[in-house]
Amino acid sequence: MPTDPPTSQNFVIRQAEPTDALAIHELLMELAEFEKIADQVEATPTSTRLALFGDAPSAEALVVEIDGSTVGTAVFFHNYSTFVGRRGLYLEDIYIKPSCRGAGIGRAMLVELARLAKERDCGRMEWTVLDWNSDAIRFYEEKVGAQLLTDWRLVRLGATGIAKLASG
């Protein structure tokens, strides 16, 4: 029998710690399944731990806990805008277990990220959303007040493309 989503009073959002690395990785693998890209995942529990907590971390994370169980994460890093003239906060991934959605956890995580961005004097906060994820798009526009940029396209080189371009 399905349970009701948690209420806003019984979850905790906190900065991730090294002991959270495996739970974060597992949540990100659930996200990859949802996004239909699990077959493209190269990350391992070790690479996730090193990216977040190694000698030269490339990202940070927040986690959401309910009764000591990790039910969500947000992985982010800083980028830089030459036009704004300041760094920004880039949200790489946010994921809440489906059974825990609808209780304000996602919005609370975005509020916490906005607080961090403000505290760190970021000029903007950005992330991407899949064009078929209408629930997320509606949430970002209606509940968060985010602006979807329709005139920009994501450009990407994978490892093979980087190697090819680097070779001249």
* Active-site residue set: 140
pLDDT tens readout for residues 56-75? 999 999 999 999 999 999 99
Residue range 94-145, pLDDT digits in tens: 999 999 999 999 999 999 999 999 999 999 999 999 999 999 999 999 999 9
Nearest to residue 51, comparing CAs of 84, 73, 71, 34? 73
pTM of the model: 0.91
Percent of the chain, pLDDT > 70?
Answer: 95
Alpha helices in 21-121 (DSSP H): 21-34, 45-53, 105-119
- Superfamily of domain 9-127, CATH level 4: Gcn5-related N-acetyltransferase (GNAT) (3.40.630.30)
Provide the residue ranges of all domains of the chain, joining segments of one domain with +.
9-127
